[in-house]
């Protein structure tokens, strides 16, 4: 929503005491087709939020949720979603098949003026391809909470020091790009849930019970 409203440009104008309206006319969420790639728990929550703002929501997932399928959310292919969506939000894991799923070829399939949101995993996006899309105007805005080269850069204070990633610095400085350092999860509620779930899982293991969220190399162990 902040990208659609051009809030970053407006913040810059306010800092300069430029109180003119132009050129920061916004786009309303309710006028957008929002394409959600990946309909697990987070993807579904995002879908509900977007519908709450009045957007039309479409989705794609290789593992379809039966309830969402009944309601007609799914398109037939990822290309169909790219062609229809004004906003594309990624909610899929970092597995080999998904690496650089956003690339020059997929961007060409998208609508002119598309907004891409990646709060999932950095390697899903070919950053150089997105930069080319931003430069050409094909991409209206880019929201990134993850970055394919974030290790060693995110969660560090670079104030007063030489910033180590020129490409990321360029993105941070752009008025139509919003960057956060992998902190979308970082809320009091989420952190509390992580602690409680870890505690409950360990307690069940100690008591000889099956944990709620088992992680095992041997899938038959549990």
H-helix or E-strand spanning residue 69 = helix 66-70
170: helix, strand or coil: helix
Question: Can you give the C-alpha Rg of the chain in angstroms?
Answer: 20
- According to DSSP, the residues that pair with 36 across neighbouring strands are 59, 89
Q: How many CB atoms lie within 10 A of CB 163?
A: 11
Q: How many CB atoms lie within 10 A of CB 10?
A: 16
Catalytic annotation, residues: 121, 150, 182
Beta strands in the chain (DSSP E): 33-37, 56-60, 87-90, 114-118, 139-144, 177-179
Contact assessment for residue 91 and residue 38, using Cβ atoms and an 8 Å cutoff: yes
How many CA atoms within 13 Å lie on the side-chain side of 85?
Answer: 31
Distance CA 10, CA 27 (A): 14
């Amino acid at each position: 929503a902040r990208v659609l409203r051009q809030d970053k440009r407006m913040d810059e104008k306010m800092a300069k005491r430029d109180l003119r309206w132009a050129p920061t006319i916004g786009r309303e969420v309710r006028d957008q087709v929002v394409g959600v790639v990946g309909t697990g728990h987070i993807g579904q929550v995002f879908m509900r939020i977007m519908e709450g703002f009045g957007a039309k929501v479409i989705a794609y997932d290789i593992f379809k949720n039966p309830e969402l399928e009944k309601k007609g959310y799914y398109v037939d292919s990822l290309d169909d979603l790219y062609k229809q969506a004004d906003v594309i939000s990624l909610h899929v894991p970092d597995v080999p098949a998904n690496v650089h799923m956003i690339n020059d070829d997929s961007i060409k399939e998208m609508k002119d003026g598309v907004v891409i949101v990646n709060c999932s995993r950095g390697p899903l996006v070919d950053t150089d391809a997105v930069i080319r899309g931003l430069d050409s105007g094909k991409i209206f805005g880019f929201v990134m909470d993850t970055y394919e080269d974030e290790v060693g850069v995110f969660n560090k204070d670079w104030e007063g020091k030489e910033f180590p990633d020129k490409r990321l610095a360029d993105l941070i400085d752009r008025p139509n790009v919003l960057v956060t350092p992998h902190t979308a999860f970082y809320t009091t509620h989420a952190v509390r849930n992580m602690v409680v779930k870890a505690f409950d899982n360990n307690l069940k293991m100690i008591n000889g019970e099956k944990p709620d969220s088992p992680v095992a190399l041997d899938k038959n162990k549990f």
